[in-house]
């Protein structure tokens, strides 16, 4: 892959209007001006082109509204644009939604991934290209299931043991990616990453939800006792890892990405309360009484922790953001992007972009 990095290349990034996808699109558009970056996104509730306002006029960027489940549309896109790389992030991504409606998770995460694999296999199988091809599937640490308190962190050989409909759908998509590599020789890589935080995350997820509720003086819902542990990574560190693996990872391999940064949920919430209250000039402890323990999430995984040694040793990646600084900056970003928060919480961006790109 490295030999090709100075050549023109056309890369489809799916889910580029979402949280992580928008950071990956931004990074690739700016760092690789000789690449054509096509953002393929259906614009579900989680996709918002406002996340990419700063790159929308760049000459190497293009947006295509489309559903990854539509195989004929994908076939046409590969043919028309002569696609040589895919970075696949499009997914239904929220565990609580998967508990309420598992079917859309199977549809998008499993069948959508399968359609994308098939389109890549057909086009790359029938057309020689100037560059090596690569299908990079972006997945999650949740496929490994839950760790006990004293257990070793997940490594790439940890047995898959998903518990939620979301993680089951992502595990299934990972298996299809491996199957396309092993059966058809598709040049694939998979990354399995821990919990991300940072700008542009939809405020249904813990960190932006807390920031929003602390600002507004609303209850902060904490599932169970808040003892569950997550390994938090800044989204820009994730985008940098994807960049490394896309360009230099080995075909057929998977790589874990994580922050070596485990926190109990209750401790993350307390930190957020401190930072938001400080930023808003409120006396210390103002928002402590917003903490509200509620019924636990069904099948709530106790702990995730990632061993990212393979990525560090083979590709030299390690995170650059510290959690305290990254979280403070994230709080400041949300406080200074009130309009963005209002648009996504009201859903007004959906009707605006539906009128621009149609309702497909």
Farthest CA pair distance, the chain: 65
Q: Does 158 bind ligand NAD (CB under 6 A)?
A: no
Note whether 113 binds ligand DAU by CB under 6 A. Answer: no
Least CB distance from residue 277 to ligand DAU, whole Å? 19
- Please check whether residue 109 is in contact with residue 91, taking contact to mean a CB–CB distance below 8 angstroms: yes
Select the span of 5-13, 67-75, 117-125, 310-318 touching ligand NAD (CB under 6 A). Answer: 67-75
Give the total of residues touching ligand NAD (CB under 6 A). Answer: 29
34, 39, 36, 45: which is closest to 10 by C-alpha? 36
Per-residue mark of binding to ligand NAD, 113-132 (x: CB under 6 A):
--------------------
User: In the complex with ligand DAU, which residue's Cβ is closer, 187 or 198?
Assistant: 198
3-class DSSP state of 70: coil
Which residue in the block uniquely carries the two structure tokens 């996808």? 21
Give the Cα separation of 27 and 37 in Å (integer).
Answer: 10
Which DSSP string corresponds to 261-308? -EEEHHHHHHHHHHHHHHHTTPPTTTTGGGEEEEPPPTT---B--B--
Q: How many residues bind ligand DAU (CB under 6 A)?
A: 19
Residue 60's nearest CA partner among 87, 29, 82 is: 29
In the block, which residue shows the tokens 């106790």? Answer: 302
138 interface partner picked from ligand DAU, ligand NAD, none, CB below 5 to 8 A per type: ligand NAD
Q: What is the C-alpha separation between 142 and 97, in angstroms, rounded?
A: 15
Q: Which of residues 136-155 bind ligand DAU (CB under 6 A)?
A: 140-142
Q: Residue from 144, 304, 317, 353 that binds ligand DAU (CB under 6 A)?
A: 304
Among 10, 113, 265, 330, binds ligand DAU (CB under 6 A): 265
Between 93 and 256, CB nearer to ligand DAU: 93
Gap between the Cα atoms of 274 and 285, Å rounded: 7
Which residues bind to ligand DAU, rule: CB under 6 A? 93-95, 140-142, 194-195, 205-206, 209, 221-223, 228, 230, 265, 297, 304
Binding site for ligand NAD (CB under 6 A): 14-15, 17-21, 41-44, 46-47, 67-69, 89-91, 93, 108, 112, 138, 140, 170, 193, 195-196, 202
């Amino acid at each position: 892959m490295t030999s090709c990095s100075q050549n023109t290349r056309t890369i489809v990034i799916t889910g580029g209007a979402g949280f992580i996808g928008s950071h990956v699109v931004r990074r690739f558009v700016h760092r690789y001006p000789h690449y054509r970056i096509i953002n393929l996104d259906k614009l579900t509730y989680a996709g918002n082109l406002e996340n990419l306002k700063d790159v929308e006029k760049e000459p190497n960027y293009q947006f295509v509204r489309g559903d990854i489940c539509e195989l004929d549309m994908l076939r046409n896109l590969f043919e028309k644009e002569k696609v040589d790389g895919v970075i696949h992030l499009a997914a239904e991504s929220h565990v609580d939604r998967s508990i309420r409606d598992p079917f859309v998770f199977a549809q998008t995460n499993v069948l959508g991934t399968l359609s994308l694999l098939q389109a890549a296999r057909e086009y790359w199988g029938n057309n020689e290209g100037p560059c090596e091809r690569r299908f990079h599937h972006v997945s999650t640490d949740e496929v490994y299931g839950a760790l006990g308190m004293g257990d070793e962190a997940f490594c790439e050989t940890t047995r898959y043991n998903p518990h939620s409909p979301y993680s089951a759908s992502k595990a299934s998509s990972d298996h299809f990616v491996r199957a396309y590599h092993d059966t058809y020789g598709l040049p694939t890589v998979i990354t399995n990453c821990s919990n991300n935080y940072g700008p542009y995350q939809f405020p249904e997820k813990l960190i932006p939800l807390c920031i929003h509720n602390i600002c507004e003086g609303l209850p902060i819902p904490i599932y169970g006792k808040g003892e569950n542990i997550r390994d938090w990574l800044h989204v820009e560190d994730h985008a940098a890892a994807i960049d490394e693996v896309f360009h230099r990872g080995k075909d057929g391999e998977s790589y874990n990405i994580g922050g070596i940064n485990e926190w109990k949920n209750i401790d993350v919430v307390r930190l957020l309360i401190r930072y938001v209250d400080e930023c808003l000039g409120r006396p210390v402890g103002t928002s402590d009484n917003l903490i509200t323990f509620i019924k636990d999430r069904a099948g709530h995984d106790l702990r995730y922790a990632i061993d990212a040694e393979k990525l560090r040793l083979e590709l030299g990646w390690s995170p650059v953001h510290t959690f305290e600084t990254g979280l403070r900056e994230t709080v400041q970003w949300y406080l200074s992007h009130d309009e963005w928060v209002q648009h996504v919480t009201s859903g007004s961006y959906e009707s605006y972009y539906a009128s621009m790109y149609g309702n497909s």
